[in-house]
Amino acid sequence: MADNGMVSVGDLARALDARSWGDTALRVTGAAEPAATQPVSAGGGTIAMAMAPKYAEALKPGSMAILAEGMDPEAYGLKAAIFAPRPRLLMAGLTKAFDPGPDIPAGIHATAVIDASARIGPGAAIGPFVVIGPDVMIGANARIASHVSIGRGSVLGDDIVLHPGARIAHGVRAGHRLILQPGASVGGDGFSFVTPEESGIEEIRRTLGSREDIRQQHYTRIHSLGGVEIGDDVEVGANATIDRGTIRATRIGSGTKIDNLVQVGHNCIVGDDCLLCGLVGIAGSSKIGNRVVLAGQVGVSDNIEIGDDVIAGGASKIFTRVPAGRVILGHPAVKMETQMEIQKAMRRLPRFAQQLAKLQETVTRLLDKTGKDA
């Protein structure tokens, strides 16, 4: 984007590898919804996201818009347009062009506490009250907002963006372009405890539910000696947590995106280019393949494996291994088509119950009549 915060329609189209139309010299100051746009003034204006006819109806004549291929800009009275062969992909490029990111001045703020042994790459912007521990290594062009802490010996790549209040514990290794949203926590201890004797949890796993002897139990902490290893281009949402491993590291593959309030337990392995949506919980030592999508509130039991390219619908609860490529849904999770049949059958149950009651009445009358005739 240009230094003055504006870019021409033509330049923006070329940057997005998209086709433009109309007065391509018009200046774009930002993006807006169709109803919020105004006719372009001499100083430029916002460009509307109107990539379907139902959205384009709200466009103002004389404005600019991003349209889907096949839509007619003249029909909406536009001055300029950009055509999106894949609208959501173009939206990604457009929003990136106009996103200034967190407001962190270049250089290191006077209140930041950085250990003398830490090594910070060139081009860093480090905000107030940041704490960086001993032997930390951070690559070039880091943007670290206020109140972030990075623990001893952690190694982070180039172009990282750590939003306010993010926490990175000791012994974490992450690649380039890591993004941590506010409050994200990476490298906290795993939830690992043991009892001197067989615990109630271990007992019911063995007996499948029955309790032989309920007794007082005391939990002893199992310390977390492993770290966390994160690939390139990973994003972790606000208040999401990734626990460190017990002995080996918890691992998150390159390109994976983790939403707000997600919990990844100790020793888990998450593959490349996965999407873990809000409130997903993955229990310890589970293995998630590549390109897996876990929709909101999906729960994954401990010590199971989910194959590549699995998609789990919202609120699914996964208790057993899932083979690669399967689409699952439900509690417990089964094939989506099976779950749809289950739901249909459940909706029929009240009718079946009425029919059964009528059948029982009929059978009772017949038996009564047969008894009287005898």
The catalytic residue positions are 266
Residue 262 to residue 282: CA distance in whole angstroms:
8
Q: What is the 3-state secondary structure (H, E, C) of 161-199?
A: EECCCCEECCCEEECCCCEECCCCEEEECCCCEECCCCC
DSSP for 138-168 reads: E-TT-EE-TT-EE-TT-EE-TT-EE-TT-EE
Residue 319 to residue 286: CA distance in whole angstroms:
11
Residue 60 to residue 35: CA distance in whole angstroms:
8
Q: Bridge partners of 322?
A: 306
Residue 241 to residue 183: CA distance in whole angstroms:
9
Count of helix runs (H) and strand runs (E) in the chain: 5, 39
Q: Are strands 193-194 and 220-221 parallel, antiparallel or unpaired?
A: antiparallel
Residue 53 to residue 169: CA distance in whole angstroms:
49
- Look at residues 155, 162, 153, 116 and name the one whose alpha carbon lies nearest to residue 139: 155
Contact 273, 253 (CB under 8 A): yes
Q: Which positions ≥6 away from 45 have C-beta within 8 Å?
A: 26, 27, 28, 29, 37, 38, 39, 63, 64
**Residue pointed to by tokens 């977390």:** 224
